[in-house]
Amino acid sequence: MRAARTISLALAPVLAVSLGACSSEHGAQAWAASVCTALSPWRSEIDTLTTRTQQQMTSKTTPGQAKENLVRLFDGAETASEKARADVEKAGVPDVTNGKAIAAGFLGSLAGMRDAYGTAANGIDALATSPTATFYDQVGKVVDKLNSEYEQSSLDTTDLDSVELRQAFDSLPECQ
């Protein structure tokens, strides 16, 4: 079904993302551990929501049921993303070069993901469910917009690279 494939494509970047963020002047190891601990439940929740929605979308559903499922998915992803953002914010700022900018970048990225999911939930909620073909075409457009907004919220690490943080994220079991 087109909608299930579309949802899968929309959430693939979410599941592939491994983020890192902030702690009130904590060393790289402590900060990375806090961030990974904060993001682990977020990744699990996104994965669970995606799996549930795909199962529901591949079974025979009406456009009304599909709409309800998608709104629930995107609302859940928005809520999970905000919780992750708030938990990462609690981690503070890493005590590394450009620590404040790195922390702000990760918080901004999570806020952008949260907002993209919120926009998608509102977009799906506003759709008419008939005619069916039009509904699914419009779902595709909402998901395309989600993908675009999600991509725009990706963290550009070009100027935010930290050897200490990279090593911490690569070595800590919490981050695997």
The residue among 169, 171, 121 whose CA lies nearest residue 145 is: 121
pLDDT in tens, the chain (176 residues): 444 444 444 444 443 333 333 334 579 999 999 999 999 999 898 888 878 777 766 667 889 998 998 999 999 999 999 999 999 999 999 999 989 999 998 899 999 999 999 999 999 999 999 999 999 899 889 988 988 998 888 876 666 678 898 888 889 998 88
pLDDT reported for residue 122: 97
Task: Give 156's contacts (C-beta < 8 A, 6+ positions apart).
Answer: 105
- pTM > 0.85: no
Cis peptide upstream of residue 41 (ω within 30 degrees of 0): no
Q: What one-character DSSP code corresponds to residue 96?
A: S
Contact (Cβ atoms closer than 8 angstroms) between residue 73 and residue 7: yes
**Residue-wise pLDDT tens digits, 121-149:** 999 999 999 999 999 899 889 988 988 99
Tokens of 104: 């702000």
**Residue-wise pLDDT tens digits, 33-45:** 999 999 999 989 8
Question: SS3 sequence, 108-176?
Answer: HHHHHHHHHHHHHHHHHHCCCCCCHHHHHHHHHHHHHHHHHHHHHCCCCCCCCCCHHHHHHHHHCHHHC
pLDDT reported for residue 11: 45
